[in-house]
A and B are shown apart, each in its own frame.
Chain A
Amino acid sequence: MLALFTRDLKLAFRSGGGFGLALAFFLIVVMFVPFGVGSDLTLLARIAPGILWIGALLACLLSLDRIFQLDHEDGTLDVLATSPLPLSGITAAKATAHWVTTGLPLTLAAIPLGYLLNLPEPAYIWLFASLAIGTPALSFIGAFGAAVTVGIKRGGLLLSLLVLPLYIPTLIFGAVSVTKSVDGLNPLPSLILLAGLTLFSVVLMPFASALALKANLN
């Protein structure tokens, strides 16, 4: 499982593109917001938590199809499926690798991007915390969507349609916790619910993904 995890990490870093793409996408989305709504700093500060969360979520979505697609095409996935490792373990390892290469950099990048959007001072720590806690859920839920659509040619758009509704609770809890900290309210309750959601996804989604993979590999 560890070997698979490090292999996925190496592939993501070395094959170029895949790793930096999500970050570049995140930067562009955040850059586009002032173009769309104007550069009024108070307005930007108001909508910054939502924009940062939606941007990170979309950037995460962008790289989901890489989790299984390439391995499915060259047959690696079939080899992995016949290995002694359970399928749920494989999906967990791959989702974790996806988080390290996507969720973690996005979390770190969100801080300077928050500054660009004039995010108020007290919100930074909560932005960082909510993204650090919430992005694993995005990766594990996304891996399920990727597992469902792995056999479909040009399934990218379908993947978004399937995964985005599943992201709604994560987005709500994550964005609400940052917004509350901006408004001077207590962001802890939504952060705790977000943590619960992440734990739930990390524990249970690999099994659902494994079921979907099994159906696709037969």
Chain B
Amino acid sequence: MSFWEYANPVKFMGLSGRLIPVLSVLTALCLAVGILWGFFGTPDDYKQGSTVKIIFLHVPSAMIAINAWIMMMITSLVWLIRRHHVSALAAKAAAPIGLTMTLIALGTGAIWGKPMWGTYWAWDPRLTSFMILAVFYLGYIALWNAIEDTDVAADLTSILCMVGSVFALLSRYAVNFWNQGLHQGASLSLDKEEHVDNAFYFPLLVCIAGFVLLFVILVLIRTRTEIRLRRAASLQARNT
């Protein structure tokens, strides 16, 4: 038994078909508990009032937005090296989800920013690099849609994802150089140096778990759809 067995589409379909119901229940549970606990079970912040509770949507979606790109980077690399179709399709499936998460993070941030910073948008490094991330997602998705040959499309988007990762990272630090920040520091960290209060921390962790699970099942479902599309296309090609 090796991990690479699931590069076989049949095995992947079998496993993911069995996983999705279980994961869906877990996701619903985590999201329901996390958001209800976060929204109704935590106190108001002494400075921010109840607006602080948007953290339960903002932080997880921002985390997924970045990590979706990293996941695409890894699956693209797997496609380039080992040429497993499932891997390329998983990268394709993750891109629109990543874009949506980026937009959710920007949107919730704007809603929070209006009462707190007095503006929906500021050219702050973090905000700007998220907008840049959204543009990278757009380019990646557009390239997938523009090419008919699926193998060539997978090749080119994988290469774009690799190169894009490097330049997205460069942009991330270049914007730091270009403007001073308004955004607060990290809400979470492993070494507890810089941290939100425990009252917010635990429901936030549940929410993050919920978002990660949501991302996983969405990617699985979309990858299954892509595999079925491929199968349908090859059946059609055989019939004509």
Contact = CB atoms under 8 A, between A and B. Distances in A.
Interface residues of B, number: 25
B174 A172 contact: yes
Interface stretch (B94-102, B103-111, B157-165): B157-165
Given A151-B147, A161-B138, A166 B177 contact: no
Contacts of A148: 143, 156, 159-160
A162 B152 contact: no
B163 A144 contact: yes
A149 B146 CA distance: 9
A197 B177 CA distance: 14
A104 interface: no
B124 to A, nearest CB: 14
B117 interface: no
Contact of A155 (B146, B163, B168): B146
Contacts of B163: 144, 166, 205, 208
A141 B177 CA distance: 21
Contacts of A173: 174, 177
Nearest to A173: B174
B156 A216 contact: yes
Interface string A177-196: 00000000000001001000
A212 interface: yes
Given A165-B164, A173-B177, A176-B177, A197 B156 contact: no
Contacts of B170: 168-169, 197
A33 interface: no
A173 B175 CA distance: 9
Contacts, number: 75
- Please classify how large the interface on chain A is, using the bins under 10, 10 to 19, 20 to 34, 35 or more: 20 to 34
Interface string B147-186: 1000010011001101110011011001101100000000
Given A148-B143, A176-B178, A165 B152 contact: no
A158 interface: yes
Given A148-B160, A176-B177, A215-B155, A165 B147 contact: no
B167 A166 contact: yes
A162 B147 contact: no
A151 to B, nearest CB: 7
Contacts of B74: none
A28 interface: no
Nearest to A141: B167
Nearest to A153: B146
A208 B162 contact: yes
A165 B159 contact: no
Interface string A206-218: 0010011001101
Contacts of A190: 177
Interface of A: 141, 144, 148-149, 151-152, 155, 158, 161-162, 164-166, 168-169, 172-173, 176, 190, 193, 197, 205, 208, 211-212, 215-216, 218
24 contacts: A141-B167, A144-B163, A148-B156, A161-B135, A162-B139, A164-B135, A165-B132, A165-B136, A166-B164, A168-B132, A169-B170, A172-B175, A172-B178, A173-B177, A176-B177, A193-B177, A205-B163, A208-B159, A208-B163, A211-B159, A212-B156, A215-B159, A216-B152, A218-B152
Interface of B: 132, 135-136, 138-139, 142-143, 146-147, 152, 155-156, 159-160, 162-164, 167-168, 170-171, 174-175, 177-178
